[in-house]
Chains A and B, each alone.
Chain A
Amino acid sequence: MEMIIGGAYQGKTEYAKKEYPDLIWGEGSSLSREELFAAEGVLNFHEFIRREIKAGREVSDLAEALIRKNPKVVLVSQEVGYGVVPIDAFDRKYREAVGRVCTRLAAYSHKVTRVACGIGMVIKND
């Protein structure tokens, strides 16, 4: 598994597509759980988490399920949770869930790259 993370509008998608020009990318804002488990690469993975929470589905098992069913996937996800704790309860839950899921996935991933200003910085490479 591999992760490409970073803030919004930092060129993560472009970076990912450049790194992996032959990969077929799924879109986190529209794919189903089954499609996620079958995807080669996923863009906007955080949007998938948001949709699951919004639909009232539990995400605490998501990381383990993904590791089991799709251990070679490349995930592109926005880093959230770098601002003041939001007043809205859903926003608080969402940003923390993204963090927990991605922390588990990053521990499993052999490579994690953080993109800022379009530049990728490899922060883990086992």
Chain B
Amino acid sequence: MLILVTGGSGSGKSAFAEDRVLSLGEAKRIYIATMHPFDQESFKRIERHRKMRAGKGFDTVECYTGLKDVKISEDSVVLLECMSNLTANEMFEENGAHQKTVEEILAGVQRLKETARHVVIVTNEIFSDGVTFEEEMNIYLKYLGEINQAVAKMADEAVEVVYGIPVYLKKMDNNK
């Protein structure tokens, strides 16, 4: 099963996604961390997420670029967090996919879906500010928007978390 979890900043989407993974039963749990720490704030953020995950039995695998090369065993339940970081890494990091960001990431998601027992992907609603950004930012929003749409299409379930409350965009039973 592939589940896409989205939401705004501080919406409780990570906590929801972790609970969703736990609800999928006992398994080898793998957390794919995508945030490349570069300053005090990002270290603190990573620390906060580590504490949240503590005791839930996750093995953490770091993946800043090249999602399709991450080694995943077949019986695992994977939590990937977060698509917005991974997209930025592929776009801007030296060894990233740059113009091929969308294809690269979707190939990685496809591989996860085929390999792991269940996959939960956390992404980010960053599309509703209505401000005109510089060109580079617009390309980033376009890429992440395309990825979110494509992953939601592949997914069995897509859910927006609003202050911890799940609002389902797509559910198993109305799946085509």
Contact = CB atoms under 8 A, between A and B. Distances in A.
Contact of B163 (A82, A85, A112): A112
Interface stretch (B3-11, B25-33, B113-121): B3-11
Given A82-B127, A83-B128, A123-B167, A114 B9 contact: no
B163 A96 contact: no
Interface size class of chain A, counting residues whose CB lies under 8 Å from the partner chain: 20 to 34
B135 interface: no
A82 B128 contact: yes
Contacts of B41: 89, 92
B133 A99 contact: no
Give the size category of B's interface with A: 20 to 34
A53 to B, nearest CB: 13
Contacts, number: 72
Which of A7, A82, A92, A123 has most chain B Cβ within 10 Å? A82
B165 A106 contact: yes
30 contacts: A3-B163, A79-B8, A79-B162, A79-B163, A81-B9, A81-B10, A81-B11, A82-B9, A82-B126, A82-B128, A83-B130, A83-B131, A84-B129, A84-B133, A84-B137, A84-B141, A95-B9, A96-B9, A97-B10, A99-B9, A103-B10, A106-B162, A106-B165, A107-B163, A107-B164, A112-B162, A112-B163, A114-B162, A114-B167, A123-B167
Contacts of A84: 126, 129, 131, 133, 137, 141
Provide the main secondary structure of the chain B interface: loop
B125 interface: yes
Interface of A: 3, 5, 7, 79-85, 89, 92, 95-100, 102-103, 105-107, 112, 114, 123-124
